Structure 1
Amino acid sequence: MTKLLPTSTAGSLPKPAWLAEPEKLWSPWKMDGAALAQAKQDALRVTLAEQRDAGIDIVSDGEQTRQHFVTTFIEGLEGVDFEQRETVRIRDRYDASVPTVVGAVARPRSIFVEDAKFLRGLTDAPIKWALPGPMTMIDTLYDAHYRSREKLAWEFAKLLNEEAKELEAAGIDIIQFDEPAFNVFFEEVNDWGMAALERAMEGLDCQKAVHVCYGYGIKANTDWKATLGSEWRQYEMIFPAIQKSSVDLVSLECHNSHVPLDLIEMLRGKKVMVGAIDVATNTIETPEEVAATLRKALQFVDVDKLYPCTNCGMTPLSRQVARGKLAALSAGAEIIRRELGVSAAA
C-alpha cells in the first residue's frame, strides 16, 4: 500500500435488490439455502467491481454476506438466544429488540473466513475486513448470563481474536474493529474498553484499525447529532487511549460533521482514515468538497498517513448514490495528489 492517500470505505455498501431490500438495515434475505449462498457470492463480485470502477484502492466485502455489522457475527456464536429477546437502549440513543446471552459464549467455527477467502481469490488489491468491536457487541445484546459488561466484552474479545487471526491467514491486509460505542461510553473505554480491544487484536501481524463514528444515517442517529451542539468533541475523550494503543489506523467521521479537525492532532503518528463522505445524505459530494476536507485534515495528520474514507457504512443508501459518492472520494483524493505533485499511478 505505497500509493499516497489510498482510498477505502468505512464498512457496509448497499446490497443488490435481488439479494435484500435496498436502503434498509436488517433487511431480510430474499432467498435461502444454496440459492442464497450463490447470491451472496454474486453480491461480493458486484460490490468489488463497483469499488474498483470507482477507483477505491483498499477494497472490502461491503458486508454483502451479513444482515448487520454486529448481529451477523453474533449469530455464529454459541450462548446467545435469538428467540429470547429483550428491549435495550442502544448506545443511549434508541430502543431495539435484541437477543439474549443465556450461557457461556463460544465460537464453534469460523464466521466470515470462507467469504474472505472467496473475496481474496477475486482481487490482488489490499482488502480491509470489518468486525464488530467488543464494546459495541455488548451494547447490542441483553446479558442474562455474565451480568457484567466488562466480563462479556472480554469474552467477546477472545472470540474476535480467533476470527481475526483466521482472517489474517486468509489474506486480509487490514482488520478493522467497529466501535461506535467508543463515542458514548467514555469512562468504560478508558477503564477496560481499550484493553478489551487490545485483546481482540492480540498477536495480529496485519494492519489493525478501529472505526469510531457517529452512526449510520438513520433518524435515531441524526436526531442525536442535532443535540450535540456546534462542536462535537467526543473524540477528545478517547483519542489519548487510542494513541497509546497498538491500533495502526483510526477511522473517523469528519465531513459535514461538527468534529473540530484539530482533534486529529492527538493521533499524530497514527494512520487516519479521514471520513470525507457524508453517509447521512443522498447528496453526492463534489470532488472539490472531498478535497477540501482532506486539505483541512492534512494540517493535523502526516500526508503519508492520511487515508481518505467514508464517514460510516452506506447500507441505508441507494447503490446509485453510493457509487457516486465513492467516485467523488477517489476524484477528491486525486485532486490532493496532484496538488502534492504525485500522480494516481504513484
Structure 2
Amino acid sequence: MTAAESSTAPALLPTSIVGSLPKPSWLAQPEVLWSPWKLEDAALVEGKQDALRVAVQEQTRRGIDIVSDGEQTRQHFVTTFIEHLSGVDFEQRETVRIRDRYDASVPTVVGSVSRERPVFVDDATFLRASTDRPIKWALPGPMTMVDTLYDAHYKSREKLAWEFATILNQEAKELEAAGVDIIQFDEPSFNVFFDEVQDWGVAALERAAEGLKAETAVHICYGYGIKANTDWKATLGSQWRQYEESFPLLQQSTIDIVSLECHHSHVPMDLIELVRGKKVMLGAIDVANQAIETPEEVADTLRKALTFVDAENLIPSTNCGMAPFPRDVALKKLSALSAGTDIIREELAVEQT
C-alpha cells in the first residue's frame, strides 16, 4: 500500500509515530525542547495550524498509516496540558527531581486542580479535518503529570494523580467526540516508580481511559534523546528490564495498546510476551541517534518482535518523540519505518499463500 492509497489503516502492521515531530523553524527554534514560539496571537494560531497541516502531509507522504499531530501546537507533552488547568501557578516555581533523573524548575500546585475548558479539542478537530486516515492523540498520563510539578496543596502524589485522571478523562471523551480514533497516555514515569505503578498508577491510568469507545494506548519509554536520559540509560546495565514491572499489570488492564521502546535499546525482546493479547506499538526507530535506519534494520526489529506478538496486534512505531532532531532526519526515519514495515508485510503475505 502506498501513502496515496486507502484512507483507512491497513489490516496488518499499521504504522504510526509515538509523539512529537520537529517544528518548522518559522514556528519555533529547531532541535530544542520547550522552544518558545516565534509568533504571537492570531499569527501563532495560524502558524500552529500550518505546522500541523505540514506534519499530516509529511506523515501521509512517507507512508504513516495512523496519523498524529506531531505535537506541533504544544511546546511540551506534559506542561502544555497543565498550563490550561486551574490550581497550578506557573509563576511560583520549585526545583524538583524529574523521574528521579534530573532537576528541573516546575510550576506549583496551589489549589484544587480543574479543567475549565477543553485543551486540545480544537486542534484535534483541525487534525480530523486534515486527513481521512485514522488519527491518534497523545495526552500526558496522571503519574507523569504528578512527577512534573511541585505539589503544595494535596501533599499526596496519589490523590493528585486521581484528580488529574478525572480531568484527563473529561478531555479524552471530548477528543473522542471530535473524531480521534486512538487516545494515547504518555507514562514514562512507569519505568521509574514501580511501587506507585502497582499501588495506584495503573488504576489512575484506567480512570483516565474510563468509558472511552476509542482505542486507548499507554506509551512507556526511556525518554527523548537528551543528555539526562542517555546518561541515565548508561547506568541501566546490559539489560533494561523495567517493563517487567508494569507489563503484567497492563496485560490485565483495560488499556488496549502498550507502546514501548525497542530498537537499539537493551530491552529484552521477550518481555513483549508479558502483554500477550494486547496490541503492541513497537518502537522500531531510535530517537537517541540521528543515523537513519535502513529498511532492513527496521524489518529485523519487527521480525524479532513477531515471535512474541501476533502480527494482527503489531503497530510499528518510533521509540519516542523526535522533536530534538533536525526535520530532515526525522522525516527520513519515517520513510525508513514505512519501508521496513513493507518488507515484513510482503513476507507475511508470502507465508499466507
Same fold at TM > 0.5: yes
Q: Work out whether 1:201 is the aligned partner of 2:209.
A: yes
> Which letter does structure 2 place at the counterpart of 1:5?
L
CA distance in structure 2 between the partners assigned to 1:122 and 1:128 by the alignment: 13
Question: Which residue is 2:6 aligned to?
Answer: none
Question: Which residue is 2:146 aligned to?
Answer: 138
**Secondary structure of 2:223's match?**
coil
Give the alignment of 1:275-290 within 5 angstroms. Answer: 275-290=283-298
Q: Work out whether 1:262 is the aligned partner of 2:239.
A: no
Cα displacement string for residues 241-299 of structure 1 (whole angstroms, at most 9, x for unaligned residues): 10000111111000000000100001110000010000001100000000000000000
1:297 to 305, 317, 324: 305
Question: Which residue is 1:71 aligned to?
Answer: 79
Confirm or deny: 8 A CA contact 2:143 2:189 kept in the other structure. Answer: yes
Question: Which residue is 1:190 aligned to?
Answer: 198
Give the alignment of 1:1-346 within 5 angstroms. Answer: 1-341=9-349
**Secondary structure of 1:341's match?**
helix
Runs of 4 or more consecutive aligned structure 1 residues displaced over 4 Å after TM superposition: none
Cα displacement string for residues 301-343 of structure 1 (whole angstroms, at most 9, x for unaligned residues): 0010010000000000011000000000000000000111179
CA distance in structure 2 between the partners assigned to 1:55 and 1:239 by the alignment: 29
CA shift at 1:3, angstroms?
2.4
**Secondary structure of 1:121's match?**
helix
Paired-residue identity, %: 76
Q: Are the structure 2 counterparts of residues 274 and 342 from structure 1 closer, same or farther at C-alpha, using a change threshold of 3 Å?
A: farther
Confirm or deny: 8 A CA contact 2:169 2:208 kept in the other structure. Answer: yes
Cα displacement string for residues 95-116 of structure 1 (whole angstroms, at most 9, x for unaligned residues): 0000000000000000000000
Cα displacement string for residues 198-243 of structure 1 (whole angstroms, at most 9, x for unaligned residues): 1000000000000000000000000000000000000001111100
**Structure 1 unaligned blocks of 5 or more:** none
Confirm or deny: 8 A CA contact 2:10 2:65 kept in the other structure. Answer: no
> Which letter does structure 2 place at the counterpart of 1:227?
T
CA distance in structure 1 between the partners assigned to 2:70 and 2:114 by the alignment: 26
CA RMSD of aligned residues (A): 0.9
CA distance in structure 1 between the partners assigned to 2:259 and 2:247 by the alignment: 12
Confirm or deny: 8 A CA contact 2:282 2:314 kept in the other structure. Answer: yes
**Structure 2 unaligned blocks of 5 or more:** 1-8
Q: Are the structure 2 counterparts of residues 216 and 342 from structure 1 closer, same or farther at C-alpha, using a change threshold of 3 Å?
A: farther
CA distance in structure 2 between the partners assigned to 1:36 and 1:59 by the alignment: 23
CA shift at 1:37, angstroms?
0.4
Aligned residues: 343
> Which letter does structure 1 place at the counterpart of 2:311?
V
Question: Please, what TM-score do these two structures have when normalized by structure 1?
Answer: 0.98
Cα displacement string for residues 67-126 of structure 1 (whole angstroms, at most 9, x for unaligned residues): 000000000100000000000000000000000000000000000000000110111100
Question: Please, what TM-score do these two structures have when normalized by structure 2?
Answer: 0.96
CA distance in structure 2 between the partners assigned to 1:273 and 1:185 by the alignment: 22
> Which letter does structure 1 place at the counterpart of 2:267?
V
> Which letter does structure 2 place at the counterpart of 1:16?
P
**Secondary structure of 2:349's match?**
coil
CA distance in structure 2 between the partners assigned to 1:31 and 1:324 by the alignment: 27
Cα displacement string for residues 149-197 of structure 1 (whole angstroms, at most 9, x for unaligned residues): 0000000000000000000000000000000000000110000000100
**Secondary structure of 1:187's match?**
helix
**Secondary structure of 1:86's match?**
strand
> Which letter does structure 2 place at the counterpart of 1:95?
D
